[in-house]
Chains A and B, each alone.
Chain A
């Protein structure tokens, strides 16, 4: 975002110089802008945030203290929705599954994102095209990619099965989407493939901020490529790495589309992550009060993780 001042600014600034005394007499910022303009400009955005984020959040606390069904009357039940969470085995199953999924995908996303960043960080011939290619799946989005994966995961006709059969690994009839471990593996591969590009973009912009001199002096000291990566790049990037880890963990905690589209959480509840479980509880079983109590717990967990992100951002300045 290079905003050139000289492009349109030269004649204007000359006039400013002539008018400096007038400005200092009248005081800053009151000459033209009537009072309250700043606030008025921000107000519409604040209104949207208040109506569509803060109000539902407050409303959520209220609902979570009732036995609210989607349709019909409700009554207060105190904290019982929260107390019931402890006994909600299906919820804990979804928590466990989400943690498993997060544990599987987080490190590979970072490692592949880092490797991609290493490949494209220098401005070589074609590195821009490679960046585009690596990032393309993220831009297309997991919902569209999941539909394409449905097609390729079919027994017999799917491309994944065709490749595995061609390599004589399977008979090409693997029913990927109706078996929990297989479906989980497939979704993890899809997600790692699709979102590593995001980590790459974040790391590349971090890498380009590392002073070149650091590498030059390390080279004079005879440091190997690995030595330079481990002793310069990775330590210099620790905040960027921390931030991409936080973003990817939050993304995993909130995963929904790929599971809904590929397995609908099945077989049974075996591949149901937290958001899908809450969605089913609210909109299929119509237990809105209980579902909202679970939502509040999720809000708190995600807010705590995001707080780490703001902490990292602040420390940079």
Chain B
């Protein structure tokens, strides 16, 4: 986590404007600094310690993980839980399924949202406003509330118990936010740039590839990151639409593990599986948080 200290601020203050800080007398400044340090220490205790504790848990031998924690709980760390998961197969396959689904969702969502964002942000055509409103209105219809008819529909299309079906569903869920971000991104590019390419005789695709694409990559990264994380952590849809064990994504597989579908609960496996679920989120977020926070500021509509 220390690596992020040097980075530029996630949401840099706009020039000429700033949050209140560093004003007032010297006494107030030192009080503030003390409070800040206290808050920082509290933050580490409340947020970092539980997460580190959970990660270390996954490396405890089975005998330690089910015993009351004490001073010696973290002295004998082992990879046994991860080896066990790997040899046991279910969870390993679920990790693979989750990766396939999350990566495919990120790609599909980004393609759809970029195309729609280009159309809505750069073209004037009849029905553009209706189209945008239609996509945004779906933000108001949570998939949790239309799960049953969606299940029946996907079933009729032979898309239940299918990773493809899950990807199509996830792409739709992430689409409104993606379109919102991409439309804003395209709309913020000066028209002069595109006009120049047009005058030079470049077609729609050429204009996009050579002039616009380099400028919209940050927006595409934001869209892809959100879609990946949403698909990687999604639980209810996967639980509902997938019925074969060999297609389960990681969260569904873990819930089976926890509810003893495979026999006695192996808490070591559960801890290791949860850590595997956690790691991509942490790495992606810490590495790409600039895009994440910008997306949130641009969208402001993500739940």
Residues of A within 8 A of B (CB): 1, 3, 5, 8-9, 12-13, 15-16, 19, 22-23, 29, 31-34, 36-42, 44-46, 48-49, 51-57, 59-60, 63, 68, 116, 119, 121-137, 139-141, 143-144, 147-148, 150-152, 154, 156-157, 159, 161-162, 165, 172, 193, 201-202, 204-205, 207-212, 215-216, 219, 225, 228, 233, 243, 247, 250-251, 254, 256-257, 260-261, 264, 275, 278-279, 282-283, 288, 291-292, 295, 298-299, 302-303, 306-307, 309-310, 313
Contacts and interface: CB of A to CB of B under 8 A. Distances in A.
Given A131-B10, A205-B293, 12 more contacts: A15-B200, A32-B204, A49-B175, A59-B153, A63-B152, A68-B152, A119-B39, A136-B282, A140-B278, A147-B258, A159-B69, A219-B23
Contacts of A16: 192, 195-196, 199
A6 B122 CA distance: 20
Nearest to A262: B258
B263 interface: no
Given A23-B195, A292-B148, A209 B36 contact: no
Interface in B96-148: 112-113, 115-116, 118-120, 122-128, 131, 134-136, 138-148
Q: Interface SS of chain A: helix, strand, loop or mixed?
A: helix
Name the prevailing secondary structure of the B interface residues.
helix
A98 to B, nearest CB: 12
A128 B10 contact: yes
A152 B51 CA distance: 12
B197 interface: yes
Contact of B196 (A15, A36, A193, A310): A15
A9 B193 CA distance: 6
B281 A306 contact: no
B300 A3 contact: no
A19 B218 contact: no
A301 to B, nearest CB: 9
B145 A313 contact: no
A39 B119 contact: yes
19 contacts: A3-B185, A3-B215, A8-B215, A9-B190, A13-B196, A33-B204, A38-B123, A41-B119, A49-B134, A53-B141, A139-B229, A148-B274, A151-B267, A162-B69, A210-B19, A256-B235, A260-B239, A278-B148, A279-B147
Given A59-B149, A157-B69, A38 B207 contact: no
A221 to B, nearest CB: 13
Nearest to A141: B233
Nearest to B198: A32
Nearest to B230: A141
Contacts of B51: 136-137, 140
Interface string B30-73: 00000010011001101110110110010000000111111000
Nearest to A133: B47
Contact of B192 (A9, A134, A243): A9
B190 A306 contact: no
Contacts of B207: 32
Contacts of B139: 306
